[in-house]
Amino acid sequence: MFSVLYNNSGYLLLQISMRGDIAEYIALLLFPVVFVGGKKIFDPGSRQWMWLPVGMILVCYTHILSMILFALFLGCIYVLDYKQINLLMVKRLSVSIIITVLFCLPLLITMLMARSKTTVIIPIVPDVLINEAVSPSNLLYNSLNNAIPNSLLDVNLGLVVAIAGMVGILTFKHRNRELKIMEALGLFFTFLATNLFPWFVFQNTPVHIIQFPWRFLGLATFCFSFVFAELCPKKSDRLIGLLAVMICTVSFTYMHQYIYNSQATQRISNDSCYKQVATDAVYTDYMPTATLKDLDYTKVFHSKQNVHKHIATVNGQQVKLPQKSIISKYNVIQYKLTNLKRGRTNKVILPVLNYGKNYSTHGIRTQVSARGETEVTFVAKSSTQVIKVYVK
């Protein structure tokens, strides 16, 4: 029941549909693994606590921000369950942290090395945090309406999870402390997703990196799904089956609306359009700082720069490269350049970001341009030449 409810929730469907955020979607699918390990850390007779470092490592290599949110979630549980904390729990938690850090070192070192060579733009929020949080009335209305968000301010829990959250309030009449904690956390994270929480206090703090407070709805979805599944009668197969069918039906109506009513999918009528949709996306997050030098970050948010427009600078002149002249693969991108000075030195700034490790083939000198792009200098063998840039 938990699996059906959680995986068919409006928030997870949002990640895989309108947002197309595959990394965050996978991280949310791994969250139950992290949770099991985090809870079993208290059980002296269980080895399942090892799922904690395993899950955290997988999440780290998928979506680092989710790792931070999941750590916050576990921190809340440990604070509320402080009476269960003992020496064994502390040892297991310490071992989990050490294992996670060691296995994530390749990723962390790579990021630190890149950061040491060039500063990068942290995720840009076009507005202050509190304005990116959802209003309580919109959250309730859109959740009960099972609405597809037309904007990021319309993100919601979805009908089924909203009902599950309401049903979960009954746990406060039960003696089960674990369910009370989970329901309370679900309500707390829902509260954090709204503008009722004073997000303006954290505007100029590292918390700003979460970008969108509604990300906490992912944690709330997990809590409400867990509580509802625990409240379901354990011996009534027919009831469970009926509920599962109802949940899936509601999910299908959500996807039906998305496919047939969402403007976002009208452009994806066939597989060949996916590449265009992906390459048309405009982001400035994690670009080298030099790319937006002297520009107002919030004003140029989602505005196309030369690197987005595929504009190269060939010997001082800007040239828009046709799509057919650009071929990209896993770690290499090649450009077919024309109107070069044959037999002479050519300086070309290619529309591909350079974090200090880009390189090319023999005879082509590569360096970082003043705008954080890839500058190549070479003697052209002909007026038309293919240049390959490799990315470490």
Q: Per-residue pLDDT for 381 more than 80?
A: yes
The Cα angle at residue 139 between residues 136 and 142, in degrees rounded to 5 = 145
| Residue-by-residue DSSP string for 312-360 | EEETTEEEEPPGGGEEE-SSEEEEEE-S--TTSEEEEEEEEE-SS--EE
Amino acid type, 189: F
Mean pLDDT of 339-366: 93
Q: Per-residue pLDDT for 47 more than 70?
A: yes
The Cα angle at residue 110 between residues 59 and 386, in degrees rounded to 5 = 110
**Pairing label, strands 326-328, 345-353:** unpaired
Q: Write down the pLDDT at residue 305.
A: 87
Q: Write down the pLDDT at residue 209.
A: 82
Q: Per-residue pLDDT for 261 more than 70?
A: no
Q: For residue range 53-107, what is the model confidence (pLDDT) as tens digits?
A: 999 999 999 999 999 999 999 999 999 988 888 999 999 999 999 999 999 999 8
Position with higher pLDDT, 35 vs 294: 35
Q: For residue range 183-223, what is the model confidence (pLDDT) as tens digits?
A: 999 999 999 999 999 998 888 888 888 889 999 999 999 99
Q: Per-residue pLDDT for 263 more than 80?
A: no
How many angstroms separate the CA atoms of 80 and 286, rounded?
Answer: 36
Angle at which helix 51-60 crosses helix 64-80, to 10 degrees, equals 150
Q: Two tokens at 362?
A: 């023999």
Position with higher pLDDT, 274 vs 9: 9
Mean pLDDT of 369-378: 94
φ, ψ at 288 (rounded to 5°): -60, 140
Position with higher pLDDT, 254 vs 388: 388
Q: Write down the pLDDT at residue 298.
A: 74
**Pairing label, strands 373-379, 345-353:** antiparallel
Length of the chain: 392
> From residue 390, how far is each of 86, 250, 357, 360, 369 by CA, in Å?
51, 47, 9, 6, 16
CA nearest neighbour of 314 among 383, 381, 390: 383
Distance spanning both ends of the chain, measured CA to CA? 44
Q: For residue range 128-159, what is the model confidence (pLDDT) as tens digits?
A: 788 889 999 999 999 988 888 878 888 999 88
The residues pairing with 245 across neighbouring beta strands, listed in sequence order, are none
283 by DSSP, 3-state: which?
coil
φ, ψ at 373 (rounded to 5°): -100, -175
Q: Per-residue pLDDT for 275 more than 70?
A: no
Q: Per-residue pLDDT for 231 more than 90?
A: no
Q: Write down the pLDDT at residue 266.
A: 47
Q: Two tokens at 232?
A: 């379901």
What predicted TM-score, i.e. pTM, was given to this entire model? 0.81
The DSSP element (H or E) to which 224 belongs, if any, is: helix 216-231
Q: For residue range 97-140, what is the model confidence (pLDDT) as tens digits?
A: 999 999 999 988 888 877 777 788 877 666 678 888 999 999 99
Q: Write down the pLDDT at residue 272.
A: 62
